[in-house]
Chain A
Amino acid sequence: MLEVREVTKAFGSGDRVVTAVRSVTMIVPDGEFVAIVGRSGSGKSTLMNLLGALEQPTSGMIFVAGHDITQLGPRELIQYRRRSIGFVFQSYNLIPNLNSMENVMLPMEYLGLERGERRQRAHTLLDQVELTGGKQTRRPGELSGGEQQRVAIARALANRPSLILADEPVGNLDTQTSTTIISLLRDLAHSERTTVIAVTHDLTLAEAADQVYRLQDGRLTTDPETAAAADSRSTRTQTP
């Protein structure tokens, strides 16, 4: 479970303080697909960086599986990112001179897994995101945007993280590919019991989420419209 308690993040000092995230509190159960919507500059990326331990909050606490990650030292933070977090970015951010397989194997290298084991798991994950055959040995530049994002999702899943943070995961994709990626993330959240938090301004993604939050001027609120849609979809899903 992810629990965020009164987290605030401010940049700068003195008269030039800019508060990107203000007293954000939320609780996300394991295996939920959560969307955080908001305009540019609303603090979405800062909140993602806080959850991913890439930034330290100015105040507040963030609990992941019962551990307050704001109290971790540099080495523990590296371990946390390595074992518990998977990142998916809008621009995919794959390593350009590594092929799909090598990109997915990369995080496993940091865990110290044997090469054969890394290759086997990377192969399985790429199959899972439906990137098969010769595409597994192609470099990012030889793949479409949707295919690159599939590789990025496979890489995010490589170390079986408890939390996947997706920053505008469909921002650069066409509608059809976006729908595929959104359902892929949602299915992964439910099947792997992995919490997926996606920040987006894409309503299609928000509509597919189990829970939707709106971030405005750094303040997090539950979005009534998308929340209602999510509730109704949830109800339909649960009805036999």
Chain B
Amino acid sequence: MSIVSRGIRNAFRNRTRTVSIVLILGLAIGLAFAMLIAHRAVAAKESTALSSVGNTVTIGPPGYSAGGPLGRFLTPAELEPIAHLHGVAGVDESISGTAQVPITTHTTPHRPSGGHASFKPGLHATLKPGLKLGSTNLKYPGTAAFATQGLACEPKPCTPHISSYTIYLSGATDPTAAVNIGASTLDIVSGHVISGTTSADVAMVSTEMARKNGLKVGSTFTAYGRTFTVAAIFKTDTQQGNDTVITPLPVLQLLSGQSNEVSNAVVTTSSLNDLPRVTSEIERVLGKRASVVSYVSDAEQAVSDLNGVKTIALDSLIGAIVAAVAVLFLVMVMIVRERKREIGILKAIGSPNRRIMVQFTAEAVTFTLLGLVLGFVIGLIAASPVTSSLVSHSGASSHTGARGLFGAGSPALTRLSDINAQASLAVILEGVAAALLVAALASAASAWLISRVRPAEVLRSV
């Protein structure tokens, strides 16, 4: 029998005691494991929330963030100093326009061309009051349901029926910025990206728009009485994005009667850490001439609540590990003291300290691994309710995120308490490592005691 197997066998010498030790260790390790899962889940949520905010600041005309009437649009000259601020990686200026698509059948609902209609937040919100409307020969690529979605009118139902669909145009210095078309992705599937600063009548259309209108790269269509050539076709992830035609900024400025105006600008900072400072710098430079929107403070407030949960989870995790170490430490001290004579005999017949220590370490590791198995089961069962309980008793659950653009808030912040506490492989490995650390620390105590056993003393009483 090897020294390790002898140590493992010794762990079962007193079965009642072994069961008790494993139960106590299992509970401590289970709590530690549940807290580790909770900590990791909350940290992941926090990271997602922060990254969802992104390292961007949006600048719009006065009233842009409050949802009220929009003030005077900014000019490129006013925005020019922003690009030179420390920590600014880029400034994407854009403007929006609309083109009417006449309704040809009465079987579908219609968007009104004005009057009492108002629009959902996003691209529509940056339309200048009294904006010069264009016309186009493009067919509306979306559904009637989307065309009327979010439509507010008095009295309901909307009367009279809308008489035309609206296709949006977006002119931007960065034509590939998805945010300008109310989407989170914009991938070119054919053709080449247009220059955002050219005066050429070129455009980028969505795959849906291209399909509905039979457009390919090189095809043409008309808008605002001008003929545009399709330079690229992009794929995007929202209906609003599909409904939008992207043109160079100067072209749309000219056609929509917004020359030398910018409806909004998205400033990208070099890092998330620069965001608070850059935001306040922009506010200082532009003053009341602009509305500056950043979710950074919302995110910081929201994650501070999650940080509280993380702290509790971490403290409990440390407490549970300390408890496990203390339990195993005391158990091993008790076992070594109980077997002092046996250790003395082993030393007397020629066993070096090292071999005896290995034997007792194997015993401690056996207890720990049995406790670990039980602890994993307990932890896996308890992790989700424990995490939910911790989050529900923190401020994170009451956070709505309703502060941002037109009261919509950041989607990631509105669902902050929706945390999925699951054990990943990394968490399991960390748990195993922590358990082995527990065994090592407890074994170190027994090793120290073993090294102090003097056979002559323990055998004297024999």
Contact = CB atoms under 8 A, between A and B. Distances in A.
Interface of A: 45, 49, 52, 54-55, 75, 78-79, 81-83, 85, 87, 89-91, 93, 95-98, 102, 106-107, 109-111, 155, 159, 167
Contacts of A75: 352
A83 B350 contact: yes
Interface in B432-462: 454-456, 459-460, 462
B349 to A, nearest CB: 5
A54 B456 contact: yes
B176 to A, nearest CB: 72
A52 B454 CA distance: 13
Given A49-B459, A55-B456, A91-B462, 9 more contacts: A45-B459, A81-B349, A90-B462, A93-B341, A96-B342, A97-B9, A109-B3, A155-B349, A167-B462
B1 interface: yes
Interface of B: 1, 3, 6, 9-10, 13, 341-342, 345-352, 355, 454-456, 459-460, 462
B13 A97 contact: yes
A89 B345 CA distance: 10
Contact of A45 (B342, B352, B460): B460
Contacts of B341: 93
A197 to B, nearest CB: 15
B355 A110 contact: yes
B349 A106 contact: yes
Given A49-B459, A97-B10, A54 B349 contact: no
A109 B10 CA distance: 18
Given A97-B9, A167-B462, A87 B456 contact: no
A75 B350 CA distance: 10
Q: Top 5 nearest A-B pairs by Cβ distance?
A: A82-B350, A54-B456, A49-B456, A110-B350, A81-B350
B94 to A, nearest CB: 80
A175 to B, nearest CB: 22
Contacts of A109: 3
Contacts of A97: 9-10, 13
B437 to A, nearest CB: 28
Nearest to A45: B460
Given A54-B456, A97-B10, A87 B349 contact: yes
B459 A54 contact: yes
Contacts of B9: 97
A110 B455 CA distance: 17
Contacts of A54: 348, 454-456, 459
Contacts of A102: 1
B332 to A, nearest CB: 17
Contacts of B3: 109
B352 A52 contact: no
Contacts of A167: 459, 462
A95 B350 contact: no
